[in-house]
Structure 1
Amino acid sequence: MSTSVSGSNVLPVEQYVAGLNRKRMAAGVLFRDARGRVLLVEPSYKPNWEIPGGAVDADESPWAAAEREVAEELGWQRPLGRLLVVDYVLPQDSRPEGVVFVFDGGVLDESDVENVTFPDGEILSAGFYTLTEARDRVKPLLADRLEAAVQAAVQGVTVLCEHGRLLG
């Protein structure tokens, strides 16, 4: 049942909200080493490598999702740094449009990664890679997002991207 305000039809709040578009969300964490290389993880369930992170669950904030994914994938309980990237991702590969957040995980040393255990078997290995080496392991979209994230970390800013590419 709609109500009338000044001659126009207004939907009840529940009906209006039910008709709103939904976007998928994901959150990841950029860890770097002193040489500027980025930490990549090798998933057991797909061929391309990733940064630690994953899908944001229902009723979960992107920052909570990023912390949860780091704990699940690497067994680390670490506070997140600031937001580096907000990336609007176009629909692709049967996936709907989405928004990806990348947070700063800070600078690690090699021993942090050498001593990591993979608690649930989702991740097979992890290591530091240059951006050029990363481009050979990750999807092009993530490679572009990684370049934007590293630039944001170095410059101390947060950047907006569309499908991995910096805006402006």
Structure 2
Amino acid sequence: MELLPFDEYVRSLDRKRMSAGVLFRDAEGRVLLVEPSYKAQWEIPGGSVDAGESPWAAASREVREELGIERVFTRLLVIDYVPDDGRMPEGIAFVFDGGLITNAEVAALELTDPEIVSAGLFFLDAVPSLKATLAARLAIALRAAQAGEPLLSENGTELT
């Protein structure tokens, strides 16, 4: 077997898209979701990881932009491998722990990002419009928060 020159090998390495989201939840087990202006499905606060940016920095940046909350998120809950779906290339989704949030704190959020129409606390089975794989990923994230350790999943299916 012939080895590629190092520079050629590096150029041949696969590139994956990454996203970073934050799970905020209340004492009743509801999760904070945001309603984007650019698509029909609700999401957790978060978004794409920019080039040269770490997933945890992206999570902090997105939460600051979307919700006005200034915080560093270091507790990882879920790493989810997301396969190519024909529309978006394969990627890795990181979910970080945002901790507990109250109704009063949600009501006080100043949503200044034009990408976000509204925000609210929801039980996962009562969300107006939530992609099935995200709902599954969030259920795993809730279990990880209770267990106190990160979990792995593949397209919303927990690896055991």
Which category of TM-score, normalised to the shorter sequence, fits these structures? Answer: over 0.9
Aligned residues between the structures = 160
Output the amino acid matched with 1:36: G
Distance in 2 (CA, whole Å) between partners of 1:15 and 1:158 is: 35
Where does 1:1-168 land on structure 2 (aligned, <5 Å)? 9-134=2-127, 136-168=128-160
Task: Give distance in 2, aligned partners of 1:142 and 1:21.
Answer: 24
- 2:129 is aligned with what amino acid? R
- Mapped to 1, the partners of 2:31 and 2:86 lie a distance apart of 26
Offset at residue 117 of structure 1 (A): 1.2
Q: What residue ranges of structure 2 are gaps of 5+ in the alignment?
A: none
Q: Considering only CA atoms, is the larger Rg found in Structure 1 or Structure 2?
A: 1
Residue 11 (structure 1) shift: 2.2
Q: Classify the secondary structure of the residue corresponding to 1:148.
A: helix
What CA RMSD, in Å, does the superposition of the two structures yield over aligned residues?
1.1
**Cα offset, 1:71, TM superposition:** 0.6
Counterparts of 1:118 and 1:14, CA distance in 2: 45
- Whole-angstrom distance in 1 between the partners of 2:92 and 2:137: 12
Give yes or no for contact 1:81–1:105 (8 Å, CA) kept in 2.
no
Q: Secondary structure at the match of 1:36?
A: coil
Q: What CA distance in whole angstroms lies between the structure 2 residues aligned with 1:63 and 1:160?
A: 17
Provide the TM-score with structure 1 as the length reference: 0.91
Q: Distance in 2 between matches of 1:165 and 1:29?
A: 19
Distance in 1 between the 2:138 and 2:129 partners? 12
Give the fraction of aligned pairs with identical amino acids, expressed as a percent. Answer: 56
TM-score normalised over the length of structure 2:
0.96
CA distance in 2, matches of 1:140, 1:45: 18
**Structure 2 counterpart SS, 1:10:** coil
Q: Give 1:93 shift.
A: 4.2
